């Protein structure tokens, strides 16, 4: 098998949703820079993401919505009617200089990945994972939905068993909306209970055999390990997927400001490592993540995991300098040394909430419906 492919772009460098927006921070550039500083990203494994053309987006998004995004980027404004219909030009989904080109690049990266994985392999597109994008409107900082487009591209290749696993802190409502009653797609989502978009309840099967496991507030590594080993992995194994799409949002860790989950980045890395051998094709995506240090470290570790690189206990100075140079309006001072000196968080085990144990038992009782 060929080594994993990293799909990135310089469009993310300096691009911001606005100074006060949670996505004012650098994310993909930090990952690229860290991977290069650590010697983990040879040019032979790097591909520049193309920008998806409007026609490539229409398997999910409406032509009117695509045209509205392009027009808003060009003019820098929207009418009240366009704002109401397409939910752009809002606080969550603002107008900014790359509001079409940046998400179209993320979508182009995921579509490129499906082509590269036609005969098997592993691809990583940390700029992807925009799982809230709806067919005709934006949502939750997501203008387009690259996971949906990637899954549809795999289906167009003739694949008939695709597992989508989403471990972001927020439910993948856009993906759920795209595949109701679709037996070829197994959607599994863990997300914080009672968190926006307030979808993905335990009994929500997205019209078919989707598995939603809301995690109680303060869920730690022990709770996630239960979810992974007793729900996610058995369900994926039973499905025998030809491809796995893993959305690896970084907002479920303790340091993230937009959730109240308490995972360490070890939880995400374990999920990536254990899912990789379960299908001949693995596309791993980014997603949420709003602390510049925690998201950069987590996604860099995902790339190390996909390549089975050994993660050092202490970062060499060139990599450490990248983290030390980051800034964040929410925290003017530098964070604890552990977020600068290392990639790996200290494990965060602890008690498992009764609500989570009950939910896992409920889903295990449904195991016969997972296939």
pLDDT in tens, 154-175: 999 999 999 999 999 999 999 9
Please give the Cα distance from 363 to 211 (Å, whole number): 8
Report how far residue 68's alpha carbon sits from residue 143's, in angstroms, rounded to the nearest whole number: 11
Confidence of residue 369 (pLDDT cuts 50, 70, 90): low
Considering the chain, what percentage of its residues have pLDDT values greater than 90? Answer: 94
Mean pLDDT of the chain: 96
Instruction: Look up 132 and say whether it is catalytic.
Output: yes
What is the edge-to-edge ordering of all strands in the sheet holding 281-285? 46-48, 5-8, 121-125, 281-285, 243-247, 162-166, 185-192, 211-215
Task: Tell me the per-residue pLDDT of 7-45, one tens digit each, with 9 for 90 and over.
Answer: 999 999 999 999 999 999 999 999 999 999 999 999 999
Helix (H) or strand (E) holding 189, with range, is strand 185-192
Q: What SS3 state is found at 269?
A: helix
Topology of domain 5-48+107-369 in CATH is: 3.40.800
- Cis preceding linkage at 197, omega within 30: yes
The predicted structure's pLDDT at residue 371? 54
Give the model confidence (pLDDT) of 77-94 as tens digits. Answer: 999 999 999 999 999 999
CB 206 within 8 A of CB 358: no
Lookup: tokens for 23: 């996505």
Active-site pick, 61, 86, 131, 132: 132
Q: What is the pLDDT of residues 176-227, one digit of tens each?
A: 999 999 999 999 999 999 999 999 999 999 877 899 999 999 999 999 999 9
Q: Which two tokens mark 115?
A: 């082509």
Domain boundaries, the chain: 5-48+107-369
Q: Which residue has the higher pLDDT, 292 or 368?
A: 292
pTM, entire model: 0.97
SS3 per residue for 66-103: HHHHHHHHHHCCCCHHHHHHHCCCCCCCCCCCCCCHHH
Q: How far is the C-alpha of 204 from the C-alpha of 24, rounded, in Å?
A: 33
According to the model, what pLDDT value does residue 367 have? 76
CA distances from 189 to 206, 224, 359 (A): 11, 12, 13
Give the residue-averaged pLDDT of 97-106.
Answer: 98
| Residues whose CB is less than 8 angstroms from the CB of residue 160 and which lie 6 or more positions away in sequence, other chains included | 184, 242
Q: Report residue 368's pLDDT band, with 50, 70 and 90 as the boundaries.
A: low
pLDDT digits (tens, 9 = 90+) for 298-351: 999 999 999 999 999 999 999 999 999 999 988 766 788 999 999 999 999 999
Contact 154, 161 (CB under 8 A): no
Task: Classify residue 118 as left (phi > 0), alpha (psi -120 to 50) or beta.
Answer: alpha
Tokens of 353: 């909430």
Handedness of CA 223, 169, 37, 336 (dihedral sign): negative
């Amino acid at each position: 098998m060929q080594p994993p492919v990293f799909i990135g772009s310089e469009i993310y460098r300096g691009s911001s949703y606005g100074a006060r927006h949670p996505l004012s921070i650098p994310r993909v550039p930090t990952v690229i820079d860290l991977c290069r500083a650590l010697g983990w990203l040879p040019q032979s494994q790097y591909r520049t993401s193309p920008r998806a053309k409007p026609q490539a987006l229409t398997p999910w998004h409406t032509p009117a919505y695509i045209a509205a995004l392009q027009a808003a980027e060009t003019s820098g404004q929207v009418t009240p009617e366009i704002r109401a219909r397409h939910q752009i030009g809002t606080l969550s989904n603002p107008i900014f200089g790359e509001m079409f080109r940046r998400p179209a690049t993320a979508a182009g990266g995921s579509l490129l990945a499906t082509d590269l994985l036609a005969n098997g392999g592993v691809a990583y597109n940390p700029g992807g994972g925009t799982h809230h994008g709806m067919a005709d409107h934006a949502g939750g900082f997501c203008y387009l939905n690259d996971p949906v487009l990637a899954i549809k591209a795999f289906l167009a290749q003739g694949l008939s068993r695709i597992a989508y696993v989403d471990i972001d802190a927020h439910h993948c409502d856009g993906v759920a909306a795209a595949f109701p009653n679709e037996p070829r797609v197994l959607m599994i989502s863990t997300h914080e209970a009672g968190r926006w978009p307030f979808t993905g309840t335990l009994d929500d099967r997205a019209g078919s055999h989707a598995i939603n496991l809301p995690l109680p507030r303060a869920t730690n590594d022990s709770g996630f390990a239960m979810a992974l080993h007793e729900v996610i992995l058995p369900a994926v194994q039973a499905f025998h997927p030809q491809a796995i799409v893993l959305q690896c949002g970084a907002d479920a860790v303790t340091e993230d400001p937009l959730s109240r989950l308490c995972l360490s980045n070890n939880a995400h890395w374990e999920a990536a490592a254990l899912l990789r051998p379960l299908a001949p094709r693995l596309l791993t995506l980014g997603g949420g993540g709003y602390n510049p240090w925690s998201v950069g470290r987590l996604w860099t570790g995902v790339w190390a995991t996909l390549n089975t690189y050994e993660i050092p206990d202490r970062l060499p100075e060139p990599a450490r300098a990248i983290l030390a140079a980051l800034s964040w309006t929410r925290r003017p001072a530098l964070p604890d040394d552990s977020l600068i000196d290392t990639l790996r968080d200290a494990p965060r085990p602890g008690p498992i909430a009764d609500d989570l144990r009950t939910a896992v038992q409920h889903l295990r009782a449904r195991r016969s419906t997972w296939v």
